[in-house]
Structure 1
């Protein structure tokens, strides 16, 4: 499955490579919410949680749906700025309708399910649907969504304060430490673009990003079959250290497509024992199960969420989940009347780091 970004007639200079403090902070927040995705950062995450002020920790857990399974569009800027403050100022300029609809967009990986007009702010049925979806994420997230719909101005201000507190608590130190790595990656990409063109540059971004044979589209191996366009706006590429191994693509209507990619490749892991390979490869052979795993790699989802996202019946999803659980590729945790399924990163990693990276894209 692929995402196709139409770049017909787009000059190479409209491919923008730039670092984004807000996008990197969002990647760090994802690590804190899903440390199993990033075992190489486990010590860092443990240290941040151990020293974090309790109120900030509560606020991050409350709003984590903005960055846990995927990213809220406004947290990955299409036009990066040099400072976090400048990017937060840009975020403040978004109107309430766009902000709330984006914040409450439900996602399964990159299969983005946007609310139709009118937005949950203006329509009672849309509001009820948004709260129903938030409820599956837990009481904290449901209460947060309800406050956002009731008083978006106050909640938006709270989110900004939370992100600013993250800067002083851990982000500023981490951002300074990775500045050299990000700068080196940007120099490499811009040099490739100048000397060797778009195709070579895209190849250095990720093996999942290629130029179509006709040169008119960027093809991204992602969770969906979809098409967007970069006409007159260009494409923004943002390197990330803390986002590794994820490849995040944002293509909201009316804004340039944005690709956040790992600044450097990950280290390969050791293969798993041969006696369990057949069972797990058989489970992975079915295209629907592979799609479900790529969704679950981004965070816990319920049976009904998966069925809704992929237009399957709940019994169909249950049968596929049963196969994946027998193969040891999933874990399940009950929360009230919901059962949340999650990718077992440890067992998937034993199949090979390339598989894990493919599921994380």
Structure 2
């Protein structure tokens, strides 16, 4: 499964790498609302949350549906600016129907129709859907969405003030610290694009990004657990680096919107770069009870096929078949000692699947 962006005929100069303060603020707010997603940001989320004034924390909670489990489209600007104020000015120029539809993330619940979804301000079914979804999230969110639909201009002004207050309270200092790194990353990817081509620049941005080309055209493929398709023909494509986004890789594919990809600049520093297919292979390999038992032995040290056969009372060929599955999934390392081949569990690969599983094997 993947998000596919058709870029057939799109000239290289219409593809840009550029940091965005609004996008990074959206990621920072998501990290504050879901700190468990961002273990490497634990110190920042803890200290920032502790320093928030109760009134600001209360307002952030009221509006967190825009960045907690889904990312509102307006938080990924197609034309990033130097400052948050400039990007908020761009949002002010967006018409109410577009802004409200983006803020409420209606499109992500409708399905992959490939057609623009009517705004809840003008479409009764979209309105009912928005209110139903908000009610499921709790009374405060329901009241907020009801207010947005009844008074979009006033609610938009409220959202702008909230984001400006976040900049004053914590994000201004944070942005000054990270924007240098983001700008450097964007320059590096732009140079790769110019000198070595788009495929090289995409791979450098994230192993989950790739370029496909055949007789049907050129496509960027984003390896994600969704199946969506959009196109950048005749428009442009923006790629936004993010420090606070890791481990998430976002792709804006809403019909009628310019495609935007937001990638984590430090994803290569810690695992998590395997494809979805590799993760699937690993989970399937570990689902067999005998292979689970083999892993429990192999996590403690290297063993030969014969040793494992003796331990579990099965034939060596049967052990070899199970080891082959684990090796194909990238969960084993092997080395030769004389005439013996020794197998051992790859701790780092297993740890990336989940610390609870690894700790269970070692228990």
Shorter chain as normaliser: what TM range? 0.7 to 0.9
**Is 2:133 aligned against 1:149?**
no
CA offsets, 1:186-231, max 9 Å, x none?
Answer: 1210110111011101111111110004361111112322221111
Give the C-alpha shift of residue 43 in structure 1.
Answer: 1.4
Cα distance 1:206–1:91, how it changes in 2: closer, same or farther (>3 A)?
Answer: same
The answer as to whether partners of 1:111 and 1:224 remain within 8 angstroms in 2 is no
Give the C-alpha shift of residue 244 in structure 1.
Answer: 1.0
What residue is the counterpart of 1:250 in the other structure?
A: 252
What residue is the counterpart of 2:209 in the other structure?
A: 209
Q: Aligned to 2:194, what secondary structure does the other structure show?
A: helix
Cα distance 1:110–1:24, how it changes in 2: closer, same or farther (>3 A)?
Answer: farther
The answer as to whether partners of 2:115 and 2:255 remain within 8 angstroms in 1 is no
Distance 1:193 1:244 in 2: 22
The answer as to whether partners of 2:232 and 2:258 remain within 8 angstroms in 1 is yes
What residue is the counterpart of 1:19 in the other structure?
A: 19
The answer as to whether partners of 2:107 and 2:254 remain within 8 angstroms in 1 is no
Cα distance 1:183–1:251, how it changes in 2: closer, same or farther (>3 A)?
Answer: same
Q: Aligned to 1:207, what secondary structure does the other structure show?
A: coil
Q: Aligned to 2:176, what secondary structure does the other structure show?
A: helix
Give the C-alpha shift of residue 283 in structure 1.
Answer: 9.9
Q: Aligned to 1:136, what secondary structure does the other structure show?
A: helix
Q: Aligned to 2:87, what secondary structure does the other structure show?
A: helix
Runs of 4+ in 1 over 6 A off after TM superposition: 107-116
Q: Aligned to 1:4, what secondary structure does the other structure show?
A: strand
- Using structure 2 for the length normalisation, give the TM-score: 0.72
Distance 1:77 1:353 in 2: 32
**Is 2:17 aligned against 1:30?**
no
In terms of Rg, which structure is larger?
Answer: 2
Q: Aligned to 2:267, what secondary structure does the other structure show?
A: coil
The answer as to whether partners of 1:105 and 1:114 remain within 8 angstroms in 2 is no
How is 1:294-305 mapped onto 2 (pairs within 5 angstroms)?
none
Q: Aligned to 1:63, what secondary structure does the other structure show?
A: helix
List runs of 5+ in structure 2 lacking aligned partners. 273-281, 288-347, 356-363
Cα distance 1:117–1:111, how it changes in 2: closer, same or farther (>3 A)?
Answer: closer
Cα distance 1:239–1:116, how it changes in 2: closer, same or farther (>3 A)?
Answer: closer
Cα distance 1:32–1:213, how it changes in 2: closer, same or farther (>3 A)?
Answer: same
What residue is the counterpart of 1:359 in the other structure?
A: none
Cα distance 1:160–1:53, how it changes in 2: closer, same or farther (>3 A)?
Answer: same
Give the C-alpha shift of residue 11 in structure 1.
Answer: 1.4
Distance 2:114 2:74 in 1: 14
The answer as to whether partners of 1:19 and 1:239 remain within 8 angstroms in 2 is yes
Cα distance 1:44–1:148, how it changes in 2: closer, same or farther (>3 A)?
Answer: same
Give the C-alpha shift of residue 126 in structure 1.
Answer: 3.1
CA offsets, 1:13-41, max 9 Å, x none?
Answer: 11111110000000000000110000111
Give the C-alpha shift of residue 175 in structure 1.
Answer: 0.6
Give the C-alpha shift of residue 57 in structure 1.
Answer: 0.6
The answer as to whether partners of 2:71 and 2:105 remain within 8 angstroms in 1 is no
- Using structure 1 for the length normalisation, give the TM-score: 0.73
Greater mean deviation of Cα atoms: 162-171 or 106-115: 106-115
List runs of 5+ in structure 1 lacking aligned partners. 271-279, 286-348, 357-361
Distance 1:145 1:284 in 2: 44
Distance 1:148 1:222 in 2: 31
Cα distance 1:78–1:150, how it changes in 2: closer, same or farther (>3 A)?
Answer: same
Q: Aligned to 1:260, what secondary structure does the other structure show?
A: strand
Cα distance 1:140–1:35, how it changes in 2: closer, same or farther (>3 A)?
Answer: same
Cα distance 1:355–1:191, how it changes in 2: closer, same or farther (>3 A)?
Answer: farther
Cα distance 1:233–1:108, how it changes in 2: closer, same or farther (>3 A)?
Answer: closer
**Is 2:129 aligned against 1:129?**
yes
Distance 2:206 2:58 in 1: 35
Cα distance 1:151–1:113, how it changes in 2: closer, same or farther (>3 A)?
Answer: farther
**Is 2:201 aligned against 1:220?**
no
